[in-house]
């Protein structure tokens, strides 16, 4: 059960092996979530999303078969009310801009401590759209001064 007695948010992770391990560590700090699937393969992630209808989708950019952004684009079409969050160590401005165009709920970097990432995911589950602020500011700078 979640902290408020509600059913835990069914969560899917698609990331590299290291990314999955880190995100499992993050979710272990969040009793309000329940991991239902994890994979490093984008196509498998999309199949699982369509079959399982998770309440939270955490995607890395780097996946096998298709990118996390491609998975995000389709997941948002299929489940428009489900938070889709890019969680990656990749902080390339072009990826953030594409994620914004797609309509993800957040883009968080895995370079922060697990506790901080858990806090950010909680804010997203509470209804916020959240992006790593330093990364967003660097991206904005590339638009202002290319």
Model confidence at 68: pLDDT above 80: yes
Task: Give the C-alpha separation, 33 to 125, whole Å.
Answer: 10
**Could you read off the pLDDT of 108-128 as tens digits, one per residue?**
999 999 999 999 999 999 999
Q: What angle do CA 14, 19, 21 make, to 5 degrees?
A: 105
Model confidence at 100: pLDDT above 70: yes
Contact 68, 61 (CB under 8 A): yes
| Phi–psi pair at 119, nearest 5 degrees | -60, -40
**Could you read off the pLDDT of 10-38 as tens digits, one per residue?**
999 999 999 999 999 999 999 999 999 99
**Per-residue confidence (pLDDT) for residue 136, from 0 to 100:** 84
Higher local confidence (pLDDT), 142 or 114: 114
- Global confidence as pTM: 0.92
Residue 1 pLDDT class (50, 70, 90 cuts): very low
Residue 67 pLDDT class (50, 70, 90 cuts): very high
> Which CATH superfamily does the domain covering 9-144 fall into?
Response regulator (3.40.50.2300)
Model confidence at 91: pLDDT above 70: yes
Compute the residue count for the chain.
Answer: 146
């Amino acid at each position: 059960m979640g902290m408020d007695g509600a059913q835990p948010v069914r969560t899917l992770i698609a990331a590299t092996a290291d990314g999955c391990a880190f995100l499992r560590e993050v979710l272990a700090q969040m009793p309000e979530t329940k991991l239902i699937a994890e994979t490093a393969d984008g196509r498998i992630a999309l199949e699982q999303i369509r079959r399982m209808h998770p309440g939270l989708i955490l995607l890395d950019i780097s996946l096998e078969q298709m990118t996390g952004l491609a998975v995000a684009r389709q997941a948002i079409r299929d489940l428009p009310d489900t938070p889709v969050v890019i969680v990656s160590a990749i902080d390339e401005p072009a990826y953030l801009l594409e994620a914004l165009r797609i309509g993800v709920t957040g883009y968080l970097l895995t370079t922060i401590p697990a506790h901080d990432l858990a806090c950010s995911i909680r804010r997203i589950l509470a209804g916020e759209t959240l992006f790593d602020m330093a990364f967003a500011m660097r991206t904005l700078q590339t638009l202002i001064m290319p």
